Amino acid sequence: MSILVDENTRVVVQGITGRDGSFHTHQMVEYGTEVVGGVTPGKGGMKQDGVPVYDTVQEVVEKEGANTSVLFVPAKFASDAIVEAADAGIKLVACITEGIPALEMSRVSHQLQKKKVYLIGPNCPGLISPGKSKVGIIPGRICKKGSIGVVSRSGTLTYEIVHHITHAGLGQSTVIGIGGDMIIGMKFMDCLRLFEEDPETEGVALIGEIGGTDEEEAADFIKNEMEKPVVAFIAGLTAPPGRRMGHAGAIISGGEGTAKEKVEAFERAGIPVAHEPEEVVKLLNGLMVK
């Protein structure tokens, strides 16, 4: 089956005529994603890569049956664009935009929870169910349809580990980059719950990084709620103390959120932790054989 996106996903691209929006629309269309419309206010009536452009998300929902949105909207407009999508009836929003203020995302997250809308991101690469639908910027060529679910806070590390999983012949059911900001939509536990319920997913690779406590909470969830095997990799073991690394969410505060603490949390829960990205496949193979 895969999770969140599949052959029935009908995508609207918010910010479709901008540099990033137009480039990645072309990539999604080329991959086979059903991109049914785009939105750039004031440019309704034109086309981008054969995709009709509208002035509002509501029009794309009503005229094209869109059920999923991907945002390439400038940061100062992005929070309003997320709310517009939710108000129009979109049930899954992938926000690629980075630099949205945390206070704005706090407000948006609260509104989306009331509307029961899934939000991936912001500041994320999106998601892909190989051979079915690609929503965002994850390179389709490195993915292969298979049985491993991947959920990650990191962008480039996602690509590297997905490449190793593909090269090993396991493939992926769905790959999700949840984003590295301090306030995001779906977290590890939300994705893990869906992978546990998905009959096509036989194992999961979780890619975490320093900052916050989401990985520790995920370790408890895996131990208590999951039967499927999970392998973890935590980036940032060599991060200098007190230095911010990469994402806005990669901030260690009050002694919490270090890579060492996260690794120890997984090990206490009996979850194998890879020390190098390529080791993820070896650990998965070992668990899948059992």
Active site positions, annotated: 247
Question: Which tokens is 261 given?
Answer: 């603490």
Report the candidate in 70, 16, 78, 6 with the shortest Cα–Cα distance to residue 43. Answer: 16
Side chain identity, residue 182: M
Rounded to 10 degrees, the C-alpha dihedral 170/176/177/179 comes to -150
Distance between CA atoms of 136 and 13, rounded to whole angstroms?
9
Give, to the nearest 10 degrees, the angle between helix 57-64 and helix 75-87.
40
The burial class, CB within 10 Å (0-12 / 13-18 / 19+), for 281 is buried
Please give the Cα distance from 37 to 25 (Å, whole number).
Answer: 10
End-to-end alpha carbon distance in the chain: 23
Q: How many helices (H) and strands (E) does the chain have?
A: 9, 14
Q: Can you tell me the distance from the alpha carbon of 84 to that of 71, in angstroms, rounded to the nearest whole number?
A: 11
What is the identity of the amino acid at 161?
I
